[in-house]
A and B are shown apart, each in its own frame.
Chain A
Amino acid sequence: MAIKKFAVACYDDEAVLFPAIDKVRNSGYKLHDVYTPFPVHGLDQAMGLKETDLHIAGFIYGITGTSTAVGFMSWIFTKDWPINFGGKPHFSLPAFIPITFELTVLFAAVGMVLTFCYLNQIMPGVKKHVFHPRQTDDTFVVAIELSEHTSEAEVLAFLKSTGANETNVQVAESEWWYGRFDKKEAYELS
């Protein structure tokens, strides 16, 4: 949660976007994020993002579901409320397997959806700063994080030289926040 200063550049074309990202990374600027109207293949590699750990989280959620199901059913049918079903033993593992399977899938699925939302900072009722209203329409938006020492004019000139058709500097909240209003309004209200 921090207010930061960003240089924003808009591009029309993927063919311009990829070399521009390369140039931004090579010249040492800190790439905040790239916003595109649709998923672009190869963008992760171009931005240098590391492989996601979502599947490890999924495995942990799945194992949690498995042990919850087996543990809970074993406790119920052997200790808490043993019932004789057709002469089967109280601890009948084969009969538990379908429910164990379902709970494994349920835990993994729900857990991974929530983790995915957390990692991408999306959730109903939370808001994130929008750098350019057309980033969901037809514009590729690159945001660079600036420090106090960076010269704004220099950055903007550099971005222009990479083929950006629109550039500006914005001061904005870098993370997500709870509420439906812009952070600026929230500051004005307080």
Chain B
Amino acid sequence: MNERFEISPRLRNTSLALIAVGIIALVAGLFNLKLSHDHVDQTRFWIVLLHNSVFFAMVTVASIFILAATSLAQGGWIVAYRRVPEAIGANMWLFGGIAVVVLLSIVYFFQIDGHNPIFHWVHPDGDAILEGKKAFLNPTMFTAFTVITVALWSYFGFKFRAISLAQDLAPKGKTKLYFYNMKVAALFLVVFCLTMMSTTPWLWVMSIDAHWYSTLFSWYNFASSFVSGMAMIMLWVVYLKNQGNLKIVNKEHIHDLGKFLFAFSVFWTYLWFSQFMLIWYANIPEETTYFKVRMQGPYSIIFYANFIINFIMPILILMARPSKRNYFTVTYMAMIIVFGHWLDFFQMEMPGPLGAHWHLGWYEIGIFTGFIGLFIFAVSKSLAKHSLVTSNNPLLKETIIHQS
């Protein structure tokens, strides 16, 4: 099967306009915030870039993860639109690269009066707790982990796509590449569990609150990024379907993606609550400071909005079978979920450096818009490069007759 996706002028212009908004926000931020004398403004400039670049890098790697997981489980349902997560994963180098540049700039170039307002551990300055964590939390370790992680993710992002494209050209009925793909998937899951499931969120997100720690944090981050990654895939599939592409995709496949949105929203809540309840119950001051500022402090509105958007809404709206099979409901919920988890990362990252001086204004929204534009632009380029439907995949027939 060969089915080409052509980027419509409307899509390209929209994405370029969104990128332009992002660039304007960045330049305006550079002059208004970065070059300002106010310490809060300077911090805001960097933390917003960190928030968005980390969020989009994690959303992108979620696509590679679902490819690996379904390859190993021999899931037939995803093969109908496998090219979408492949195209997202192939852009790992871009979003990972942006994250590396932003993170390393913050570690090496950002300091105010000899200390780093975002990553306090860069200059421990005799702080007993930070000195104790120095073996792990130091610029060298951070750089090594970040660069190796993003390099591996990008490699596997390219690899899955390359295998899938090679399968298209392979002789009919040959399963050699299919089983090779499973081996690569198994290898990626090992990499994934050592990065996204553990070290990456520690370094990129949790070390912003370097005095505090939670053993559940990486799982919680994984759930958050995974459900928004599935929402991104959903949005692309519905968009392509709307454009008249992806003819073999029908409500059964949409239903499966909808189940993922529903189930992993609940999973996210499970982890979110597990982390919260233990800290609330034990009531140890060094742990409760984390939730004091978020729940009862200046962030309480975002804290509760986060819970309502990411749990109450999905569980009520997506629970019924018909709503998971309705294109409008799933599109609407996918957009809500992406925004909700963007907000979730917002409330993880902002309180540490900014405290009460947080904003959800032109700069935050502008940079987010720019990243959305870049995401649409880059992924649509990758989608248009090759056929939208895989051929010669042993599970192709299974996916066409799939019933959810």
User: CB within 8 Å of B: which residues of A?
Assistant: 55, 59, 86-88, 94-95, 97-98
Contacts and interface: CB of A to CB of B under 8 A. Distances in A.
Q: Rank and list the top 8 A-B pairs by shortest CB-CB distance, nearest first.
A: A94-B277, A94-B280, A97-B273, A95-B281, A97-B277, A86-B283, A94-B276, A94-B281
Contacts of B281: 86, 88, 94-95
A57 to B, nearest CB: 14
Contacts of A95: 277, 281
A18 to B, nearest CB: 16
Interface of B: 273, 276-277, 280-281, 283, 319, 321
Contacts of A55: 321
Nearest to A87: B283
A contact face: mostly helix, strand, loop, or mixed: helix
Nearest to B270: A101
Contacts of B276: 94
Contacts of B283: 86-87
6 contacts: A87-B283, A88-B281, A94-B277, A94-B280, A95-B281, A97-B273
Contacts of A59: 319
Contacts of B321: 55
Nearest to B280: A94
B274 to A, nearest CB: 9
A88 B281 CA distance: 8
Given A87-B283, A94-B281, 11 more contacts: A55-B321, A86-B281, A86-B283, A88-B281, A94-B273, A94-B276, A95-B277, A95-B281, A97-B273, A97-B277, A98-B277
A95 B273 CA distance: 11
Contacts of B319: 59
A176 to B, nearest CB: 29
Contacts of B273: 94, 97
A98 B278 CA distance: 11
Contacts of B280: 94
Nearest to B274: A98
A86 B288 CA distance: 15
Contacts of A98: 277
A55 B324 CA distance: 15
A62 B367 CA distance: 43
A60 to B, nearest CB: 13
Contacts of A97: 273, 277
A97 B277 CA distance: 9
Contacts of A86: 281, 283
A80 B276 CA distance: 28
